[in-house]
Amino acid sequence: MTENTENTEFEAEYETDAEGVAYTSETVAAAVDPARPVTVAPGAGTGRRKEAVARVRIMPGTGNWTINGRSFESYFPNKLHQQVASEPFAALGLEGRFDVIARIHGGGITGQAGALRLGVARSLNLIDTELYRATLKKAGLLTRDSRVVERKKAGLKKARKASQFSKR
């Protein structure tokens, strides 16, 4: 390959501004450095999903989860709900490095798992914003899922279901 071809490949990957400086619109997620010590400050966050609200406190520890005074496995026996709730730690590679204490009320079990996930992600973001925020944001863990049940309308059987139309 010639030098000229390599330069055009580089320019195709990145856009350049007026001064000719290459940049990209993609945000590079900062990798969590295992050699860097984890911040020892506790963090707190609130997560909401549907009707569920989770108030979460995390602190450096051994990975113990306490939810409404119960263990993680007894509160969420379904493995899918356990995976959803612990997703922020998995995204950052911090499994077993923080203790989680949460109070959850309202909603169903799936909504509570989603609320716990958002609360954990927000509290991790609060602990070390510059290190964790890019990774959490890229994984979509800092965004609140705003989908809620649609209300029932007058004259309909459910939110959208109407009785069958009869011409005669």
Domain that holds residue 98: 43-138
Give the global pTM.
0.75
Q: What is the pLDDT, as a whole number, of residue 25?
A: 56
Domain presence at residue 105: yes
Looking at the structure of the chain, the number of domains it has is 1
Q: 156: which residues sit within 8 A by CB, 6+ positions away?
A: 162
pLDDT in tens, 128-142: 889 999 999 999 999
Among the residue ranges 4-13, 40-49, 66-75, 121-130, the one predicted with the least confidence is: 4-13
Report phi then psi at 67, rounded to 5.
-120, 115
Closest Cα to residue 124, out of 88, 87, 80? Answer: 88
Closest Cα to residue 121, out of 152, 153, 91, 160? Answer: 91
Domain presence at residue 75: yes
**CA-CA distance, 70 to 102, in Å (whole number)?**
10
CATH of the domain at 73: 3.30.230.10
